[in-house]
Amino acid sequence: MKMNLTATCFLGLVTGSLLWITHAHAQEAEPGKEGKVEAQYSREIDQLARDKQIQKAFQHIVAQQKQNREELIMLTEIPAPPFMEQKRGIRFASMLKEAGADSVWTDKVGNVIALRKGRKGKGCVALDGHLDTVFPAETDVKVKMKGDTLFAPGIGDDTRGLVAVVAVLRALEDAKIETQSDVLFIGSVGEEGLGDLRGVKHLFSDQSCRIDSWISIEAGAMGRVSNMGLGSNRYKITFKGPGGHSWGAFGLANPQHALGSAIHYFSKAADKFTRSGARTSFNVGRIGGGTSVNSIPFASWMEVDMRSEIPENLVLIDSLLKASVQKALEENNQMRRSGPALTVEFERIGERPSGELAETLPLVQRSMASVAYFGASQKPVGGLRTQISPFQKESRR
Ligand SMILES: [Zn+2]
């Protein structure tokens, strides 16, 4: 993953809403759809950008570049896989305190939250980056520099987002900008992998923390505005049996064989299903089980990830998975010559709902108008989520 050193973030303040953009370089282009900015929002942002305080905030963001780069390296080198974000969270909390937040705290799941009070304190806008990275604990996270580019696992997704969150807070403080709404600056936990969005789910279930607008900063193409969340279902599926010696107990049902059949039936059915209609994906990401080449295993497991742009397809592909596993179970139990039947267990290890905000909503429109203000051309982008983007020079990995 690479991040351009000239990465810059900007901010706009629109009647209590806070918007921002980050510049990032990534590599492969992916299909997407183009957004349309309505004239009233372009005018609003143009007007706002002429404001003296906003100009001062922009200057402060540019002036922070060296500091931001040092902080990006420092935070990147604190490993933070899902469920192990604490050390990075402590450092991030102290950065928010130093930046001048009114109060900073860590909630019971580990989200780091800073409050900057608004003039009216009526609404609440949240600006978030996620603390965790997708990389496991043993990954070498030392930042390396080649030319003008920094390389390290997780430096873009989403350590750059965390640095941008703090940079916006500093710019607001420096330019003495008052917002109408309260603004929360957040480092959330559990965005990646088995974290299953536990940080954000907690923030929206916690009644003491009412958030009206949510803006999440992610690594990706400059100008990428995501207004759709991609849904996913994830399972760990385990076939279990008595196990025994491969010669002495031959004829027992074999969980590993059943797992192989299940993958075969599921991949065939799911392949057919995902060839048309809304974009939907499936993946058997990890398998395991067994103790030696000459033992019939006690257990055999796989981890499966399914994603779709629409909830209906998630339900359908989910049922294909369950039917395939059931078919494999029955078939392998019928084939056994002795011993008890195999059983199967489904453990849900991830559930992310699909969701979409209309392109015409003010929050989405203002985001697009803000990125357009900074002058890139209008081209479509795509990626992990459906996106609306007024331009694209780079696109997501
Ligand atoms: Zn991310």
Taking only the tens place, the pLDDT of each residue in 369-388 is 888 888 653 333 333 333 33
Ranking 279-293, 342-356, 375-389 by mean pLDDT, the lowest is 375-389
Q: Is 138 exposed, middle or buried (0-12, 13-18, 19+ CB in 10 A)?
A: exposed
Whether residue 77 has pLDDT greater than 60: yes
Band of pLDDT at residue 222, cut at 50, 70 and 90: low
Distance 154 CA to ligand 1 centre (A): 9
- What is the sign, positive or negative, of the torsion defined by CA atoms of 144, 159, 196, 351? negative
Distance 157 CA to ligand 1 centre (A): 5
Whether residue 227 has pLDDT greater than 90: no
Could you tell me if residue 70 is inside a domain?
Answer: yes
Note whether 115 and 57 are same-domain residues.
Answer: yes
The token pair at 108 is 């019971």
- Which residues, 6+ apart, have CB-to-CB distance to 305 below 8 Å? 232, 233, 234, 281, 282, 283, 285, 350
Note whether 206 and 78 are same-domain residues.
Answer: yes
Whether residue 390 has pLDDT greater than 80: no
What number is the average pLDDT over the span 69-87?
97
pLDDT of residue 224: 79
Instruction: Specify the number of domains making up the chain.
Output: 2
pLDDT of residue 190: 96
Could you tell me if residue 195 is inside a domain?
Answer: yes
The CA distance from 196 to 235, in Å, is 12
Note whether 218 and 178 are same-domain residues.
Answer: yes
The CA distance from 389 to 322, in Å, is 37
Note whether 194 and 219 are same-domain residues.
Answer: yes
Whether residue 5 has pLDDT greater than 80: no
Could you tell me if residue 394 is inside a domain?
Answer: no
Note whether 258 and 118 are same-domain residues.
Answer: no
Residue 94's CB is within 10 A of a number of other CB atoms, namely: 12
Structural domain of 12: 3-230+357-382
Helix/strand/coil percentages in the chain, nearest 5: 35, 25, 40
Could you tell me if residue 63 is inside a domain?
Answer: yes
Note whether 221 and 239 are same-domain residues.
Answer: no
Helix, coil or strand: residue 288: strand
pLDDT of residue 21: 34
Whether residue 99 has pLDDT greater than 90: yes
Note whether 216 and 301 are same-domain residues.
Answer: no
Note whether 245 and 310 are same-domain residues.
Answer: yes
Note whether 333 and 365 are same-domain residues.
Answer: no
Mean pLDDT score across all residues of the chain: 86
Could you tell me if residue 396 is inside a domain?
Answer: no
Query: Which CATH number characterizes residue 152's domain?
Result: 3.40.630.10
User: Which amino acid, residue 308?
Assistant: S
Distance 244 CA to ligand 1 centre (A): 44
Query: Which CATH number characterizes residue 259's domain?
Result: 3.30.70.360
Helix, coil or strand: residue 351: strand
Distance 37 CA to ligand 1 centre (A): 25
46 and 106 Cβ atoms separated by less than 8 Å: no
- Asked whether the whole model's pTM tops 0.85, one would answer no
Distance 220 CA to ligand 1 centre (A): 9
Could you tell me if residue 55 is inside a domain?
Answer: yes
Distance 190 CA to ligand 1 centre (A): 10
Band of pLDDT at residue 12, cut at 50, 70 and 90: very low
The CA distance from 142 to 151, in Å, is 9
Distance 130 CA to ligand 1 centre (A): 7
The token pair at 101 is 């937040």
Distance 191 CA to ligand 1 centre (A): 7
Residue of 3, 139, 164, 148 whose CA lies nearest to 71? 164
Could you tell me if residue 392 is inside a domain?
Answer: no
Distance 155 CA to ligand 1 centre (A): 10
> Which one has a higher pLDDT value, 29 or 37?
37
Note whether 106 and 120 are same-domain residues.
Answer: yes
Q: Is 194 exposed, middle or buried (0-12, 13-18, 19+ CB in 10 A)?
A: middle
Note whether 183 and 209 are same-domain residues.
Answer: yes
Note whether 200 and 340 are same-domain residues.
Answer: no
Distance 296 CA to ligand 1 centre (A): 41
Could you tell me if residue 387 is inside a domain?
Answer: no
